[in-house]
Structure 1
């Protein structure tokens, strides 16, 4: 059992957890999305590319230049991305804090498996509620505004999916997304344990620094991401499809047509993207949380 470490010991504004957690999550989701949205566009374009072997877009840098020059859409879909990330992080941190309180021992300690299951429960709930937003986001970011059938706006996307695919269309890619919850569970567990380890080794009166938060968030993200990236590929392919297709069929097509390397398309830019996003998210979350709490 380990007691959840406090990042900063200074007294904040004293708002209750039910206010602090969602506000910190919403702010973190907003800032991280504004900074890394162009890289998100590149990641999704690479994930849904069907060319065997070397990606037809060439390097990520070339893709970035092509999108900017030919489409002018580096920030296409920003609105839905901001809404999705703000909603997801705000809801996740609120639920995670609440679930931790429910299972914590009298002294406030939480076991390693407790961290994992509470973050998993919060992640599953968040994934189910926000999946429609990610379907719209994937389709908007994977197409140029001039592409035939592209959604001109977020609301048009919702209307088109509901009319042509029904309510089930909003749940596309949910199963891989739920599988991907394990990524978040491992990340949060690693992050909490790193914080706990650091707190035990601090001298009296010392506090965790912003550099600690950056290092711990980056390390936990890398560790969790190594084994879960293929699920993201499958999820993006399912969500980008307009017809009915399941995760097993996507796996067969990927392996048969594009080879095993297809499950790791976009891994390099995704790794580059998620580290800044993760560090910004957790640094913002911890800062706002400590200020309001």
Structure 2
């Protein structure tokens, strides 16, 4: 319960802080080669959205963003810590074993992908809706109803396969994060690695937590970024318009049809060049690095305070 609450609070804080940069990242990722909007660069896009759409534009999709982050972090940390203990007990490996961290990250990520993907789809749609789109979702519940009615239940799981590929991200990040915590904790307390107690959480300074989270996040983000662009393209692509077409509820299909990961990558590379797979990367790094630092620092601080009560 402690892990779930600490995870939820970390997700809440991160969701609010990074929302404007989330909007910019998704807009850049989803921009086709021929676009009337023509966003260009992180800060110019941030300024343009603020000018044309105001504060509301920068925080478009805030509700699903907060809900997604909160649910995702709550579920992820609760299952991650539980899986660590379970894997350690069933394999006789120590809690600080990289195999335990990797296995826990894998299983927790699978649970979160299956459970939270509909929220991420809605969040992405609401972030990309603007004056050029015919569709408009008034709220999370309206988006749920509208997507299911017009496109079917499976549309809430668009981009599911790329999301599974994204599991590589926590598989890289969290074993690194756990290892960095141990190394930095030992350095701060002038102790040796062989003296570390795997059954006790590492005690780190604020700087130690931030360093561990930021460095591990940066490495994972750069390596696994292309899957995010592919997922965004698939999630924002809508089902063909049906006979119930209405200017108020229907959506416009993307200019370039995307059908599966391989074809999506091929279309993007042919139409836009290989650099299109890294669209929005600077924005993503500016967004995710502080987000990871804030999120994990919040998680560790809340967890430590709860254990001291």
Unpaired segments ≥5 residues, structure 1? 1-18
Match of 1:45 in 2: 27
Aligned pairs for 1:21-36 (under 5 A) are 21-36=3-18
> 234, 256, 261: which is aligned to 2:230?
234
Counterparts of 2:140 and 2:132, CA distance in 1: 15
With the length of structure 2 as denominator, give the TM-score of the two structures. 0.84
Which one scores higher on RCO, CA 8 angstroms, separation ≥ 6?
1
Residue 282 of structure 1 pairs with residue 296 of structure 2? yes
Query: How much does 1:159 deviate?
Result: 0.6
Match of 2:119 in 1: 133
Query: How much does 1:113 deviate?
Result: 1.8
Check the 8 A contact 2:93/2:100 in 1, yes or no.
no
With the length of structure 1 as denominator, give the TM-score of the two structures. 0.88
Check the 8 A contact 1:100/1:110 in 2, yes or no.
no
Match of 1:66 in 2: 48
Distance 1:107 1:58, change over 3 A: closer
Check the 8 A contact 2:163/2:231 in 1, yes or no.
yes
Counterparts of 1:145 and 1:120, CA distance in 2: 39
Query: How much does 1:148 deviate?
Result: 1.4
Query: How much does 1:149 deviate?
Result: 0.8
Counterparts of 1:147 and 1:165, CA distance in 2: 16
Query: How much does 1:109 deviate?
Result: 3.0
Query: How much does 1:146 deviate?
Result: 7.1
Query: How much does 1:245 deviate?
Result: 2.7
Counterparts of 1:152 and 1:44, CA distance in 2: 19
Residue range with higher mean Cα deviation, 145-154 or 121-130: 145-154
Counterparts of 2:138 and 2:210, CA distance in 1: 37
How many residues align structurally?
A: 273
Check the 8 A contact 2:96/2:178 in 1, yes or no.
no
SS, match of residue 175 in structure 1: helix
Aligned pairs for 1:1-293 (under 5 A) are 19-51=1-33, 56-72=38-54, 73-104=57-88, 108-144=94-130, 147-201=133-187, 202-203=189-190, 207-243=203-239, 245-293=259-307
Deviation string, structure 1 residues 12-52 (Cα, Å, up to 9, x no partner): xxxxxxx1100000000000111111000000000001127
Query: How much does 1:66 deviate?
Result: 1.5
Check the 8 A contact 1:145/1:151 in 2, yes or no.
no
Check the 8 A contact 1:176/1:234 in 2, yes or no.
yes
Q: CA RMSD in A?
A: 1.9
Deviation string, structure 1 residues 185-210 (Cα, Å, up to 9, x no partner): 21000000111122333237x94101
Query: How much does 1:178 deviate?
Result: 0.8
Counterparts of 1:251 and 1:260, CA distance in 2: 9
Query: How much does 1:144 deviate?
Result: 1.8
Distance 1:107 1:188, change over 3 A: closer
Query: How much does 1:108 deviate?
Result: 4.8
Counterparts of 2:140 and 2:203, CA distance in 1: 43
Check the 8 A contact 1:112/1:189 in 2, yes or no.
yes
Deviation string, structure 1 residues 72-109 (Cα, Å, up to 9, x no partner): 21111100000000000000000001000112256853
